[in-house]
Structure 1
Amino acid sequence: MAADTIFALATPPGRSGVAVMRLSGTQAGAIVDATITGRRPPPRYAALRQIQNGDGTLIDEGLVLWFAGPHSFTGEDSAEFQIHGGPAVIEALAARLSELGARLAEPGEFTRRAFEHGKLDLTEAEGLADLIDAETSAQREQALAQMSGSLRALYEDWRQRLIDVLAAIEGEIDFPDEEGVPEQLARTAGPILAALADDLAGHLDDDRRGERIRDGFSIAIIGPPNAGKSSLLNALARRDAAIVTEIPGTTRDIVEVRMDLGGFAVTLADTAGLRETEDVVEREGVKRALTRADSADFVIGLLDGGARWNQEMTPVLEKSDIIVFGKADLPAALTLPDSRAPDLSVSARTGEGMGGLERRLSAIVAERLSKRELPALSRIRHRRSVEAARDALVRAQQQLFDPELAGEDVRLAVRALEQLTGRIDVEHVLDAIFSRFCIGK
């Protein structure tokens, strides 16, 4: 456990009405006593105090809160100074805390100390980080559920069931000369292992719902040059994110817009017009457009409703989830092969059909990311550990003829689940997780 005392600004840097400076560590109480006039406030009560330099000059007057460990966020003695948010005030208080022996916290160090003192596990810490970064209601709800322990409870239940199975397997190992051990294990441990493997497989089979909620649902707009892709992107984003001109091939690279669609984070991508070209740069843009279409969660194929059918439109039909005719304010002329009709017609210029397209996209995103009974996997780290546990359980079922081999695979599954919650210290994993927090958290 870290013995030094740390401090950091918990509110955004810059000028504000109020700023909050946090302090945590073994010397927190002594530092508070040396910094304020009057007595230290009772635990969890706010008190107005003058905050002073070592020579008695006033730094500021503000609220001071005291949290005696272990009844604090970090589990250590902690304090908060709620001061006026001017840069000079903040800098003077930081200098005073440094003078008294505290040091500036590293990113995520407060939360890491909370983890090290058993105040929360790794999945809850990650939920806290996601809550701070949440841009949409869906991200907020998922982060709150994870921060409150939904994933921890699920993984701990699986871990305990595996430990019970492991106890049964090791009990059979103690009697190696007994007849019928493999058959006995197949009857006792086999069904439990199979049920657990099914539970883990079901948890994994979620179409990466949690990761899409956290990272954003990807929608790509593809189509031939001058179909109106950039205009459609700007209309959906309600700002001029992409350049719009009458010159074919204006868009060469991917233009992305992050937006909230029905409460879900969505990344909308405008792409280069699909056509054969001798221009090296444009050809690379077409290549990237096709790659983005292949990797996107959903593809809008946009065609100029006033154009004539040509073979360059074929990739749009092949790769798109819906076909949209643009420029609906102009006379229609386009007829698709095989009597296929467009899903929607819109005009980015007049707004015609845009409400219907937004509702259609919102419904699609909501359906793809709708809630399931189990809490969602929200990170690649979680998915890989659950995959490792599932694979170990599948092997264990196949190894029941040899209790020692089966037991080792069950232990590997337990270890994978313990890495998820942080029961096993993997230093590089901890460093990677907490380094992504802001300094005051």
Structure 2
Amino acid sequence: MPADTIFALATPPGRSGVAVMRLSGREAGSILDAAIAGKRPRPRHAVLRRLLDAAGTLIDQGLVLWFPGPHSFTGEDSAEFQIHGGPAVIEALADRLAGLGARLAEPGEFTRRAFEHGKLDLTEAEGLADLIDAETGAQREQALAQMSGALRQLYEDWRERLIDALAAIEGEIDFPDEEGVPEKLAETAGPILSALANDLSEHLDDGRRGERIREGFGIAIIGPPNAGKSSLLNALARRDAAIVTDIPGTTRDIVEVRMDLGGYAVTLADTAGLRETEDVVEKEGVRRALTRADSADLVVGLLDGSATWNQEMTPVLERSDILVFGKADLPQVLTLPDSLEPDFALSARTSKGVGDLEWHLAGIVSERLSKREMPALSRLRHRRNVEAARGALARAQQRLTDPELAGEDVRLAVRALEGLTGRIDVEHVLDAVFSRFCIGK
């Protein structure tokens, strides 16, 4: 366990009404006593105290709290200083704590210590990081569920079921001379492994719902040049995010807008106009537009309803999930081949129909990302571990006639699930998780 004592600002740097400085470690109590005038507060009681520098000069007056371990966030002796948020006050208190032997914490070090002291597991720590970063209601709800142990409980249930299957397999290995061992093994461990494999598959086959909630649902707007894609992006974003001109080919790279759509984080992308061109830069823009359309969760194809049909519109029809006619404030002359009809007609200039499209998009996002019975996988790390566990289970099911091999596969599945919650101390995994936290958390 860490022996040194750490401190960090837990609130954003800069000028503010109140700033919070946190302190944690073996010497937290003695450092707290030396930094304040008066006696140490009772545990978990906020008390007004004068904070003093090494010469006994007043730094500030603020609220001080004392959290003796293990009943603290980190599981160690901890203290908190709620001071005025002026940069000079913050710097003076930091200098005082450093002078008393504490060191500035690394990013995520407080939460890592909480993990190392068993106060939370790795999925709960990741949920805490997601809660800090949450921009929408859906992100907040998912992060709170994960921070409260929803994923941990699911993974622990799977692990316990695997251990039950492994116990049955080990029992068969211990009595290899009995008749009908493979049959008995299939009767006992087989149903457990089969049911668990189905659960893992269901968990994985969710359209990456949790990752999309956390990272954002991708919507790409594609169309020929000068169809009004940038105008539509600006109308949906309610700001001038993309340059709009009457010159075809103005947008040559992807312009992204992050927005809250029905409580879900959405990344809306305006792309270069799709057409044949000899311009090297524009050609690269078209390539990127098609690549983004292929990777997007939803593609909105936009055609100029006031233009006549041409072959540049064909890729839009082929790649679109939703087809929109723009410039509805102008006379509409566009007719589509094969009697196709647009899903929406709108005018970004007058806002006619934009609200209807936005409502429809919000409904699609909500339907795809709405809550399911199982908590969602929120990170690629989780998905890879569950995939590894499912693969090991599939091999175990095929090898039930050979208990030794089946047992090894089940142990690999158990190990993959233990890696999800951090039971296995994989140092580079821990470093990757906690390095993404802000300093002071």
Query: TM-score with structure 2 length normalisation?
Result: 1.00
**Structure 2 partner of 1:65:** 65
In 2, Cα distance between equivalents of 1:245 and 1:344 = 23
Report how far residue 337 of structure 1 moved.
0.7
In 2, Cα distance between equivalents of 1:130 and 1:15 = 25
Check if 1:135 corresponds to 2:135: yes
Check if 1:207 corresponds to 2:246: no
**Structure 1 partner of 2:165:** 165
In 2, Cα distance between equivalents of 1:166 and 1:340 = 58
Q: State the AA in 2 paired with 1:177.
A: D
Q: State the AA in 1 paired with 2:99.
A: E
**Structure 1 partner of 2:394:** 394
Secondary structure at the counterpart of residue 308 of structure 2: coil
**Structure 2 partner of 1:322:** 322
Output aligned runs, 1:404-419, within 5 Å: 404-419=404-419
Report how far residue 349 of structure 1 moved.
0.5
In 2, Cα distance between equivalents of 1:418 and 1:38 = 47
Q: CA RMSD in A?
A: 0.4
**Structure 1 partner of 2:88:** 88
In 1, Cα distance between equivalents of 2:417 and 2:433 = 17
Q: How many residues are aligned here?
A: 441
Output aligned runs, 1:272-311, within 5 Å: 272-311=272-311
In 2, Cα distance between equivalents of 1:188 and 1:56 = 72
> What is the aligned-residue identity percentage?
84
Q: State the AA in 2 paired with 1:30.
A: S
In 2, Cα distance between equivalents of 1:179 and 1:305 = 77
**Structure 2 partner of 1:9:** 9
**Structure 2 partner of 1:225:** 225
Report how far residue 379 of structure 1 moved.
0.2
Report how far residue 55 of structure 1 moved.
1.1
Report how far residue 429 of structure 1 moved.
0.2
Report how far residue 370 of structure 1 moved.
1.1
**Structure 2 partner of 1:264:** 264
**Structure 2 partner of 1:175:** 175
Q: State the AA in 1 paired with 2:340.
A: R
Report how far residue 176 of structure 1 moved.
1.0
Q: State the AA in 2 paired with 1:273.
A: G
Report how far residue 8 of structure 1 moved.
0.2
Secondary structure at the counterpart of residue 37 of structure 2: coil
Q: State the AA in 2 paired with 1:364.
A: I
Query: Which 5+ residue runs of structure 1 have no aligned equivalent?
Result: none
Report how far residue 178 of structure 1 moved.
1.1
Cα displacement string for residues 271-310 of structure 1 (whole angstroms, at most 9, x for unaligned residues): 0000000100000000100010000000000000000001
Check if 1:335 corresponds to 2:315: no
**Structure 1 partner of 2:374:** 374
Cα displacement string for residues 47-81 of structure 1 (whole angstroms, at most 9, x for unaligned residues): 00000011110000000000010000000000000
In 2, Cα distance between equivalents of 1:226 and 1:164 = 63
**Structure 1 partner of 2:100:** 100
**Structure 1 partner of 2:344:** 344
In 1, Cα distance between equivalents of 2:124 and 2:218 = 26
Cα displacement string for residues 185-225 of structure 1 (whole angstroms, at most 9, x for unaligned residues): 01111111100111111100100000000000000000000
Query: Which 5+ residue runs of structure 2 have no aligned equivalent?
Result: none
**Structure 2 partner of 1:56:** 56
**Structure 2 partner of 1:362:** 362
**Structure 2 partner of 1:46:** 46
In 1, Cα distance between equivalents of 2:55 and 2:250 = 65
In 1, Cα distance between equivalents of 2:183 and 2:46 = 66
In 1, Cα distance between equivalents of 2:391 and 2:376 = 19
Query: TM-score with structure 1 length normalisation?
Result: 1.00
